[in-house]
Amino acid sequence: MSPIRHLAFVFNAQKSGAAELATALAAIARTTGVAVQISGEPVIRPGWLQGQDACCVIGGDGTIRGVAVEAARAAVPVIGVNRGGLGFLTTFSDEEARANFSSLLAGACQVTPRSMLSCTAGAGPGDLALNEVLIKDEDGSRLVRLEVFADDELVTEYSCDGLIFSTPTGSTAYNLSAGGPLVHPHAEVIAMTPICPHTLSNRSIIFQHGVKLRVRPRSADARLLVALDGQRNLAVGARDTVEIAVAPERLRLIQRPDYSHFAIMRAKLKWSGSTAEEKRP
Whole-angstrom Cα distance, residue 36 to residue 204? 44
Task: Give bridge partners of residue 244 from the DSSP assignment.
Answer: 119, 213
Which amino acid belongs to residue 271?
A: W
Which amino acid belongs to residue 206?
A: I
Whole-angstrom Cα distance, residue 77 to residue 8? 10
**Containing H/E element for 114?**
strand 110-121
* 61 counts as catalytic: yes
Whole-angstrom Cα distance, residue 65 to residue 44? 11
* Number of residues that this document lists for the chain: 281
Nearest alpha carbon to residue 245 among 90, 116, 86: 116
Whole-angstrom Cα distance, residue 91 to residue 204? 28
Whole-angstrom Cα distance, residue 266 to residue 271? 4
Whole-angstrom Cα distance, residue 120 to residue 63? 23
Q: Which of 61, 127, 229, 240 is catalytic?
A: 61
In three-state secondary structure terms, 108 is coil
End-to-end CA separation in angstroms for the chain: 29
Whole-angstrom Cα distance, residue 21 to residue 82? 10
**Which are the catalytic amino acids?**
61
